[in-house]
Structure 1
Amino acid sequence: MRLVVGVSGGSGIPYALSVLKALHELQVETHLVVSSGAKRVMSAEGGPQLPELNALATHVHDDRDLAASISSGSYRTDGMLIVPCSAGTLAKIAGGFADNLLSRAAHVTLKERRRLVLALREDPLPRPMLLNMVAVHDAGATVMTASPGFYHAPKDVEELLHFVTVRLLDQFHLDVPGFTRWKEKV
């Protein structure tokens, strides 16, 4: 399997790290694109940093490289996940504005009818953002929130991150080990 993983400027870089760790363990080929906004958020939040994300990716692409392999529909992938997906990136995708590699790769994913999953991490949701969510949904994307459940009685932040990672990767039919699903026997 080959997935594009985008990281945009919304708060929540630990979600991206959790997803990349799981994909690395599952031996999924990953093409990582990190926006300039995400790089600023990493620096400001002091959590996971770019070298940690890059180390888990199979391929790392510069967000300014509009000639990268993933900018073309002829380069086959099994889909794309943007985690976190900022309101600005959502708006670009909703409007078909492909001014960087992250938004271009999302555009290609939609035009080729591949799975595109956007993991939003912003609240509250103003009307323009809600309309953009409907627009990307109608274009074929799956919109999810980075909102963990609690029925599995998480003991720490890592388990909360893992819950969201599992739900996101479920969209690609990937089974992430170490998770008890609702009503499953342990």
Structure 2
Amino acid sequence: MDKKRIVVGISGASGMPIALEVLRQLRGHREMWETHLVYTRGAQLTLSQETGCTAKELEELADCVYDNENIGAAPASGSFRTEGMIIVPCSMKTVAGIASGYSDNLLLRAADVTLKERRRLVLVTRECPFGTIHLRNMYELSRMGAVILPPVLSFYNHPDSLECCIRHIAGKALDFFGLEGEGYARWEGMDEDR
């Protein structure tokens, strides 16, 4: 059985623990999924700042890693079949680049290809608060078929740690690809006896 491919993009916004968790959870499905990683220079700097992880440690979580400057890499072509792409975290600069079709690096080109091929594109958008330009760009991407998934906390699952929140958001992103995320608690309805 051929493995399903998924592209994981990481840009330089805050939220690196979520990116690591997405890759870690995908790694738990290696028998069925193959991860293709592309990350920006800003992502590498933010990764170090927020997690203390090195680029090498990040890359070890993926099956294939591409240089963001290599516009000719496999994910730059629609003939390279994937199930889609998650960009986690997704900076507003990256959102603007995707929305305008400004594909000057591999991460942006891979997202552009994902949209043009009508594949699933999940953007874990990170900014607070969102400005009008950010909202307009996300609206346009939503109209193009992208899923806009800001890392908003859920409290119905009674998280007892930051790690629970991170796992839940990672699981929510993976759910769009039919993967049951570790620590992702689905809403089961309200108990009427309360």
| TM-score for both structures, normalised by structure 1 | 0.94
The one of 16, 19, 22 equivalent to 2:19 is 16
The one of 138, 147, 155 equivalent to 2:160 is 155
The one of 96, 99, 115 equivalent to 1:91 is 96
- Identify unmatched segments of 5+ residues in structure 1: none
Per the alignment, residue 36 of structure 1 pairs with 41
Write the distance in 1 (CA, Å) between the matches of 2:121 and 2:39.
Answer: 16
**Max Rg structure:** 2
Write the distance in 2 (CA, Å) between the matches of 1:97 and 1:85.
Answer: 15
CA contact (8 A) 2:17 2:50 kept: no
Q: Quote how far apart the aligned CAs of 1:156 are.
A: 1.3
Per the alignment, residue 58 of structure 2 pairs with 53
Aligned residues: 184
Write the distance in 2 (CA, Å) between the matches of 1:74 and 1:149.
Answer: 38
CA contact (8 A) 2:168 2:182 kept: no
Secondary structure in 1 aligned to 2:57?
helix
CA contact (8 A) 2:164 2:183 kept: no
Q: Quote how far apart the aligned CAs of 1:55 are.
A: 0.8
- Identify unmatched segments of 5+ residues in structure 2: 190-194
CA contact (8 A) 2:68 2:106 kept: yes
| TM-score for both structures, normalised by structure 2 | 0.90
The one of 77, 86, 95 equivalent to 2:82 is 77
Per the alignment, residue 122 of structure 1 pairs with 127
Identical positions, percent: 46
130-139 vs 82-91, which moves further? 130-139
Q: Quote how far apart the aligned CAs of 1:148 are.
A: 2.3
Write the distance in 2 (CA, Å) between the matches of 1:49 and 1:30.
Answer: 18
The one of 21, 24, 29 equivalent to 1:26 is 29
CA contact (8 A) 1:13 1:48 kept: no
Secondary structure in 2 aligned to 1:145?
coil
Q: Does 1:4 align with 2:16?
A: no
Write the distance in 2 (CA, Å) between the matches of 1:167 and 1:22.
Answer: 12
Secondary structure in 1 aligned to 2:8?
strand
Secondary structure in 2 aligned to 1:56?
coil
Write the distance in 1 (CA, Å) between the matches of 2:183 and 2:132.
Answer: 37
Cα RMSD for the two superposed structures: 1.3
Write the distance in 2 (CA, Å) between the matches of 1:41 and 1:154.
Answer: 25
Write the distance in 2 (CA, Å) between the matches of 1:160 and 1:179.
Answer: 9
Letter in 2 for 1:137: S
Q: Quote how far apart the aligned CAs of 1:151 are.
A: 1.3
Write the distance in 2 (CA, Å) between the matches of 1:140 and 1:179.
Answer: 23
Write the distance in 2 (CA, Å) between the matches of 1:156 and 1:181.
Answer: 18
Write the distance in 2 (CA, Å) between the matches of 1:65 and 1:75.
Answer: 15
Letter in 2 for 1:16: A
